[in-house]
Amino acid sequence: MRQLSRALRVNCLPSLRKPFFNAPPWLVYPTKSFSTTPAHHRYQVPKRKKDVPMSKDMTTLKGKPFDRASLESLMRRRMFYTPAFDIYGGVSGLYDYGPPGCALTNNIVDLWRKHFVLKENMLEVDCTMLTPYEVLKTSGHVDKFADWMCKDPKTGEIFRADHLVEEVLESRLKGNKEARGEKVEVEEEDAKKKKKKVKNITAIKLDDVVVTEYEEILAKIDNYNGEELGLLMKKYDIRNPANNSELLPPVAFNLMFQTSIGPSSNLPGYLRPETAQGQFLNFAKLLEFNQQQMPFASASIGKSFRNEISPRAGLLRVREFLMAEIEHFVDPEGGKKHAHFDEIKDVELELLNREVQLAGKTHVATTKIGDAVASGLVDNETLGYFLARVQLFLLKIGVDPKKIRFRQHMANEMAHYATDCWDAELLTSYGWIECVGCADRSAYDLTVHQKKTGAPLVVREPRKEPLKVEEWQCDIEKKKFGPKFKKDGKTVEAAIEALSQDLREKLSLELEKEGKIVIDVPGVGDGKVEVPKELITIEKRTRVENVREYTPNVIEPSFGIGRIVYALCEQSYWTREQDEARGVLSFPPTVAPTKVLIVPLSSHADFKPFVRQLSNKLQEIGISSRVDDSGASIGKRYSRNDELGTPLGITIDFQSVKDNTFTLRDRDSTEQVRAGLDDIAKAISGIVNGAERWSDVAARLPKFEGQEVE
């Protein structure tokens, strides 16, 4: 995910921010503050906006209230994930994926690879995570990839400045409500956490003016830099909530994990914060591999790292995470058309555009991507193509179509070089979560790396018609040049090469008139060098360019796989009508961790050969299954697998031993059919490969109602 769009954006001027954020009068914008590191906000869990329901108002697939705590309990109990190093007390922001979480992730990655890499012939690469300092210095991460933290000088405790300001102001607003006798609307869970952290929730009434100020600050808490946060803390007397002691002013904390490569500690390095840089550095080789043909895309799937100051929000803000990133390289001329745009132009997206957000609204408009590009709302076809393809991918893995939207970045939220940027956001109980960022990054990255290294990260293509350029050219008499300038020859020559066209024109007149020219050559003599006309000719000529050289622009769709996995779990979760405690995860069969559960009625020896026969048959057709021959009741065993999201179940009962038929159960409806091995295998294969649905199978095979599996 292009986490940098904010971190690397041009430092926005106060006037530009105004429409987005009405600064309270006390908040001075000293010029200096804008030259310090702006806060880093990528991958941020968005604040709850007015349009986002609270967790308790969220509804499941079946329209019932969503309960985050019971989903989280299920996910831990069934080992979708687990805090890493749990037996050592854990490390915040680090999680391990257990078998179902790992299989779910692998299946999503596999579909991603088919949907993007295979379908579009992308060039997948696998670059190292260890990255030397120089690379990330050039990309801007060393200087700008930071959050603001402040320290309690007494206890050594460290706070993320924006989080602290937010928590304290929120708790004061709640105290104000309590003092005024209003109902304080907080989620229980949140309240518990906050009470523990922010001990000074006391019912104190605030002035109306102060309430408005607080609300304005909270609405735009993501927009302050360190100096501004420091001013807020001074002005509103924000201290360490635990001991009321004053904190040191916010300082920038770089979010990259640092290490050193090799034994002598003289090669500092970092763990990459994104997979993109490796792709940019390999651009020239990838173009060569693609036989110089443009456009093309590279892709990379791998872990990235971010040393969050104080990770919260479970799987949504972690220190080590899986990304899948595409860098689509395109000619900046010709409107960035896409050859297959026609195939997706009628795909409808829910777009939350910049203007709506500027007006403080969150109204989305259902728009065909073709229309959005035609009207200029989405900058170009290639960007639009990827927005549509991202949505198709998300739907394929089972995301709820009512819970996707594409939010356009505000002008001051994007990197200064970015042309347009849209986030695919998924609705969860934490609010709308940025899961895929789609940015048009222009030629920024290739340009900075080329400038730093001198490597030609450009495309050179023959022009159909040669380009004629009229220009002033300087020719040097090399033979006389050396003897005259000696060791300074090269420097003087470079200075002449660097002369602008305007200056050359002026100098050509000077040369004619004076018989010599005087140019600035810093570092040689007194910085002025005289070149007599014997040594130089300046003439206007026509140059013919047969080759066009350009730096491609990059369209970057960047996926936070862990976030998508978590959002998918929330959106797939519901509980059975009869029993709130019986959770179900309705993953589509393609991404479900296990496809089939095989359940012998009991541990009776007669069932064993059938278990093996079924397992082998499924393995043969490449479908993952698991056997549950534990002593628990059939109902309990199916419940367990509903929680694991296993879409199908086969029961082996005494009837099976008699006539070699089995029952097949559908997770979502709990309906069952009964048939022989081949029919069962065919139905499973059809459902898992997406060729048919349960309703097709249920219409085709005899229904079975003999046995209670609830």
Gap between the terminal Cα atoms of the chain: 43
Closest distance to its own copies from the beta carbon of 325 (Å): 14
- Judged by beta carbon, residue 132 or residue 241, the one nearer its own copies is 132
Residue 82 touching its own copies (CB under 8 A): yes
Instruction: Restricting to residues 248-267, name those near its own copies by CB under 8 A.
Output: 253, 257-264, 267
Tell me how far apart the alpha carbons of residues 135 and 206 are, in angstroms, rounded to a whole number.
50
Within positions 10 to 69, which residues make up the interface with its own copies, using CB under 8 A? none
Stretch that binds its own copies, among 52-60, 89-97, 361-369, 375-383 (CB under 8 A): 89-97
Residue closer to its own copies, measured from CB, 88 or 523:
88
Q: Which residues contact 26 (CB under 8 A, 6 or more apart)?
A: 231, 235
**Stretch of residues binding its own copies (CB under 8 A), selected from 114-122, 220-228, 240-248, 462-470:** 114-122
Burial status of residue 502 (CB atoms within 10 A of its CB: 0-12, 13-18, 19 or more): exposed
563's enclosing H/E stretch is helix 561-572
Contact 205, 116 (CB under 8 A): no
Residue 353 or 639 with smaller CB distance to its own copies: 639
Contact between 144 and its own copies per CB under 8 A? no
- Cβ proximity to its own copies: between 310 and 447 the closer is 310
Site for its own copies in 561-620 (CB under 8 A): 619
Of the listed pieces 5-13, 288-296, 330-338, 679-687, which binds its own copies according to CB under 8 A?
288-296
- DSSP 8-state secondary structure symbol assigned to residue 348: E
Residue 98 contacts its own copies per CB under 8 A: yes
Long-range contacts for 114-122 (Cβ within 8 Å, ≥24 apart)? 115/389, 115/392, 115/393, 115/396, 116/299, 116/324, 116/326, 116/389, 116/393, 117/299, 120/297, 121/296, 122/296, 122/297, 122/298, 122/299, 122/326
From 59, 243, 453, 669, residue interacting with its own copies (rule: CB under 8 A):
453
Closer CB to its own copies, residue 454 or residue 522? 454
For its own copies, the closer of residues 249 and 489 by Cβ is 249
Amino acid, res. 106: N
Please identify which residue in 114, 604, 636, 693 interacts with its own copies, judged by CB under 8 A.
Answer: 114
d(CA 249, CA 432): 31
Position among 33, 55, 105, 672 found at the interface with its own copies (CB under 8 A)? 105
Does 111 help bind its own copies (rule: CB under 8 A)?
no
Q: Which of 78, 336, 354, 405 binds its own copies (CB under 8 A)?
A: 78
Phi, psi of 43 (to 5 degrees): 60, 20
- 622 part of the interface to its own copies, by CB under 8 A: yes
Among residues 15, 32, 87, 605, the one that binds its own copies under rule CB under 8 A: 87
Nearest Cα to Cα of residue 342 among 375, 295, 388: 388
Q: Which of residues 623-662 bind its own copies (CB under 8 A)?
A: 624, 626-628, 630
392 lines the binding site for its own copies (CB under 8 A): no
**Which of the residues 482 through 541 are near its own copies (CB under 8 A)?**
none
Give the footprint of its own copies on residues 152-191 (CB under 8 A): 156, 158
Burial track 273-293 (b if 16+ CB lie within 10 A, e otherwise): bbbbbbbbbbbeebbeebeee
Type of residue at 572: S
At 145 the three-state DSSP class reads coil
Angle at the Cα of 108 (from 73 to 341), degrees rounded to 5?
A: 135
Contacts of 571 (CB under 8 A, 6+ apart): 61, 398, 399, 400, 403, 426, 427, 428
Q: Does 467 bind its own copies (CB under 8 A)?
A: no
**If binding means CB under 8 A, how many residues of this protein chain bind its own copies?**
82
Q: Shortest approach of its own copies to residue 593 CB, angstroms? A: 10
Q: How far is the CB of 567 from its own copies (least distance, A)?
A: 18
Site string for its own copies, 292-311 (x = CB under 8 A): -x---------x-x-x-xx-
Residue type, 582: R
Q: Residue 288 CB, nearest distance to its own copies (Å)?
A: 8
DSSP annotation of 542 reads: E
The answer to whether the CB of 163 falls within 8 A of the CB of 148 is no
